[in-house]
A and B are shown apart, each in its own frame.
Chain A
């Protein structure tokens, strides 16, 4: 046994006082748990469905079809000079991942209540599972985006090298907000009813059905405080060449999403001690 024979572990249990730090060593010890929980999440997700992993595409794709009809054709919302379907789908891929990750993460602590009240492990793992497990769906939906780009003869620009960074921002934002919601939800179950319309509002506050260029120039900097703005516009610029890479917006968004992640982490750590008592 690795930790067992080589070194004695000393544990000191006392009422939590003051600031609670994140114990990275402990999380690293439990990384196998994180791995198996992600695997469980993925395996169970499409069990006993006919279409299985196709659902990862169907959701964003049909949303895109609906939006194309209503916003693209009827309302004639501009789409930065590229066909509306791909303009919208490129954002839907990002959004479908984000909204799923956010709502599953927000409900994760309550959902795993039985586990939390029966066994000890670093609680922080729980809200991270859906955020990481969702990446597989994201990849599937992204693959379809590539097919659509071929169909519309649109080729990515050099700034595509920033894509991994944008995905990282996406993960940080989803897990940051997810951790706050999950921790709040443990005590205040109002959160579970808040999440659906938070997601809806946030969607319309992000450039998904419309381009950022509709926002008046002088408000853009405030608009970028929504980290999804930088992420989505970054995606569009890199893949669809809508505009030059929006460096300034992405920078603001990065700062905000990093802040959200840290706030989520810190808040979660401060309140996790009472989870077992309120679930």
Chain B
């Protein structure tokens, strides 16, 4: 077995979150507090950079806790997880922007990180000047940039504006130029964080293509993304993070599946206990079911679907509309129902009740999908439940 290019052992990272603001009840309290504030501020500021031994303290969070893994040269690794899972902290530690609280990492190669495109770009400088500035910030030498200059220009498609200050660029041009510089780095290890979330679809495709090329050249890539489709297409192996711990690592397909399962677990929480609802709740969804028109919970591709939504309203509702969206695993919309366009909801509904609808034959490709429901009253979103339930569409010879 070859030697790993990245070896991460017992990495933890501790952050201090600010302590709570205190509220003064009386004028006297406020006055004494104002005089004591500098002392308290000083204590707080000093604590900010100290490693806390007592791990039970309430103002400490562990962005990462005892992370271990190793990566072989040439692997393309996806890192997925919800917001706040510790993905970005991991990249920051690997790229030496911040140091770990404990643990040990060995890297056997030159490393470059792309946590943001266009870091260090100065709006007043021209495209040409920014290429050199950004390139050297990313760790290139001048002669290296000289050599790749024409390639960078060609990739960014901004030849004509090379000597224009970048503040005059459209945001698309800006991003293209920034990515072009970054794409021509030649590190052995490349760390990429969500940079593909910018630019238009065509450019995103180009970026993904470029990353694929880089991977083919045998470089090691760590790719953090919420774009599961991109992770699946690029990465051979993936890690799933949650709340600072490494939940699982393995073949990308399996890890992505587990991630999706973990997120859908939430649907088992009763509707009125869900905390991820949006809207003012004037009218609320109380129950939801989606079955085939024959009443069977399993739906085949091409079935008619019966959707029933129970609701309750604080006052006699009028102008109420219901929206149902079905998304695939990667959160791409595949089916959408909107009673504003379909019609069929009476003007005056009862205060509590059900609405039900039967669709035509729906050609959804087989596989798991996620259902979102929303209620709209006179164009105001009053209730929105993401991921209210999941479906597993079964294949059929429709």
Chain A positions within 8 Å of B, measured between CB atoms, are 1-4, 8-16, 29-30, 32-33, 35-37, 39-40, 43-44, 47-48, 114-121, 187-188, 271, 273-274, 276-278
Contact = CB atoms under 8 A, between A and B. Distances in A.
A16 B113 CA distance: 21
Contacts of B187: 4
Contact of A119 (B95, B122, B140, B142): B95
A44 B124 contact: yes
A8 B106 CA distance: 13
A269 to B, nearest CB: 13
Contact of B100 (A2, A13, A119): A13
Interface stretch (B130-138, B220-228, B265-273, B300-308): B130-138
B362 interface: no
B94 interface: yes
11 contacts: A3-B110, A9-B109, A13-B100, A29-B141, A40-B129, A43-B129, A115-B137, A118-B116, A271-B49, A273-B99, A277-B15
Given A15-B102, A36-B136, A188-B45, A120 B122 contact: no
B229 interface: no
B110 A13 contact: no
B49 A4 contact: no
Contacts of A2: 141, 144
A4 B93 CA distance: 21
A32 B135 CA distance: 10
Given A43-B124, A277-B15, 13 more contacts: A3-B110, A4-B188, A12-B106, A14-B99, A14-B100, A14-B104, A32-B140, A35-B136, A36-B142, A40-B133, A118-B116, A119-B120, A273-B98
Nearest to A45: B124
Interface core residue of B92, B100, B116, B136 (most chain A CB under 10 Å): B136
Contact of A274 (B49, B107, B133, B188): B49
Contacts of B109: 8-9
Contact of A44 (B98, B125, B132): B125
Contact of B108 (A10, A36, A43, A115): A10
Interface residues of B, number: 47
Contact of B113 (A14, A40, A119): A119
Given A3-B110, A4-B186, A119-B137, A12 B105 contact: yes
A231 B129 CA distance: 36
A12 B45 CA distance: 29
Overall SS of chain A's interface: helix
Nearest to B95: A120
A15 B103 contact: yes
A114 B132 CA distance: 18
Given A13-B100, A33-B136, A114 B119 contact: yes
Given A1-B144, A274-B49, A120 B100 contact: no
A221 B222 CA distance: 60
Nearest to B102: A15
Nearest to B92: A276
B198 to A, nearest CB: 14
Nearest to A277: B98
A40 B103 CA distance: 38
A15 B99 contact: yes
A133 B30 CA distance: 47
A62 B378 CA distance: 66
Contacts of A36: 132-133, 136, 142
Contacts of A33: 136-137
B110 to A, nearest CB: 5
B74 to A, nearest CB: 15
A13 B96 CA distance: 7
B136 A30 contact: yes
A13 B107 contact: yes
Contact of B104 (A13, A30, A44, A117): A13
B111 interface: yes
B110 A277 contact: no
Contacts of A37: 133, 136
